[in-house]
Amino acid sequence: MDSTAAIGILGGYGAVGTAVVRRLYRAGVGPLLVAGRDPARAEASVESLGATSTAVRAQAVDLWDASLDAFLARCRLVVNCAGPSYRVLDTVARAALRHGVDYVDAAGDDPLHARLRAQGGADEWAAASRTAVLSAGALPGLSGLLPRVLLDQVARPIRLEGYLGGVASLTPAAAGDVLLARGPEHGIPSAAWEDGQTRDRALEPRRGLRLPAFPQPVTAFPFLSTEAVRLARAARIRRVHWYTVFGGEHLAEELAMAWAMDDTETAGLVRAAEADVRRHGSWYGQEFRLWNGTDDGPPTRTLTLRAEDSYELSGFLSATAAHHVLAGHVKPGVHFAADVLDPLSTVQTLATDPVAELDMA
């Protein structure tokens, strides 16, 4: 592959895409192509970097016409930050493979992975010596990677608890993904992992919960994600309790109502998230608690992440995945980021990054 070809960031002027562009540019990776449907926003993103015209350029791309192929013909790797991911699905990934371009997706998640595999995707990517890394965001992504650092430090992991969430504004694309993140391809509400299998209706919400990852009491709703199940199986953990955390009341209520009414309109979620931010501020956290040998008493090890912006965290991991792919550290094929990025080196890098605070005990 031509080493002078560009690194494309699709949706490069959005919340996550902007973070990816900034990180890759500061690391000297390039040339970069900032792409999306709105050329004015793409140009503004480039200008905000103060970059030379050869280092970063803008390109207008519509996923649904020939401009996507024209864009990918200029790339050696594309980082897909366009959304909502439930609508994009495998459109960009399949086009990338046609052009022999490696692929990193800030989202993607299980539906994309299943879609690629259903079409022979995993073997096809490996046969073409091309790499696709999916779920390279804060959640899923870091949520499956961070607990692996704790798991590598113990001999007999018995029980793992994960708490993930906070208060943040939602872009329309992110709201769409939140709204559609239900069904068995994403996870099971109120379920737990017990002795090698999913146990339905095992857990209740935890209200007024105080944890170091969050600056105020939160409500934690049990949700056994497919990412948590993959982690449990890989590490042979006996018991996993996984929770989605809400720091405000408006978004949780609006989301529950939208699901009950089978509503696909995102404006209500965006307004509810903004109402929570106005009242509680903006913050995000992930906390993992691991018991080794026995689940009696306090946890053996804990890892706490605190951040102001989950979109910046997603940008961090997507950029990290791009670095790994470009360096040849990820073998060809289709992978989840948490399965192929090195947990310890990623955490060590994140610990020195201003995007987050990390504590391990």
Alpha helices for 155-246 (secondary structure H): 172-180, 226-235
Where do the domains of the chain lie?
A: 6-137+313-354, 142-310
Give the pLDDT band of residue 1 (cuts 50, 70, 90): very low
Cβ pair 309, 282 in contact under 8 A: yes
The 10s digit of each residue's pLDDT in 70-101 is 999 999 999 999 877 777 889 999 999 999 99
Q: What's the one-letter identity of residue 317?
A: L
CA distance 102 to 82: 16
Residue 116, token pair as written in the block: 């690629």
Cis upstream peptide for 31 (omega within 30°): yes
| Lowest-confidence region among 24-33, 39-48, 49-58 | 49-58
Cα-based angle 217, 223, 226 (whole degrees, multiple of 5): 135
Topology of the domain covering 142-310: Dihydrodipicolinate Reductase; domain 2 (3.30.360)
Q: Is 184 exposed, middle or buried (0-12, 13-18, 19+ CB in 10 A)?
A: exposed
Distance CA(315)–CA(278), nearest Å, equals 24
pLDDT at residue 262 above 90?
no
> Which residues, in sequence order, are bridge partners of residue 315?
none
Whether 247 has a pLDDT exceeding 80, the answer reads yes
Block residue for tokens 């939208």: 258
Q: Return the minimum-mean-pLDDT range out of 28-32, 83-87, 319-323.
A: 83-87
pLDDT over 70 percentage in the chain: 96
Given a contact cutoff of 8 angstroms between Cβ atoms, the answer to whether 40 and 16 are in contact is no
Separation in Å, CA 228 to CA 49, 224, 237, 265, 294: 37, 6, 10, 28, 20
Decide if 75 contacts 68 (C-beta within 8 A). no
Report the half-sphere exposure of 297 (CA within 13 A, side-chain side): 6
Pairing label, strands 131-134, 333-336 = parallel
Q: How far is Cα of residue 80 from the mean position of the Cα atoms in its chain?
A: 12
Domain 6-137+313-354 homologous superfamily, CATH: NAD(P)-binding Rossmann-like Domain (3.40.50.720)
Instruction: Give pLDDT tens digits for 102-147.
Output: 999 999 888 888 888 765 555 789 889 999 999 999 999 999 999 9
Dihedral sign for Cα 246, 229, 321, 73, please.
negative
pTM (global) more than 0.85: yes
> How many residues can be counted in the chain?
361
Q: What is the pLDDT of residue 265?
A: 80
DSSP 72: H
Question: Which pLDDT score is estimated for 87?
Answer: 78
Confidence band (pLDDT; 50, 70, 90) for 286?
Answer: very high
- Common-topology check for domains 6-137+313-354 and 142-310: no
Contact call for residues 166 and 138 (beta carbons, < 8 A): no
* DSSP one-letter string for 44-63: HHHHHHT--TTTEEEEE--T
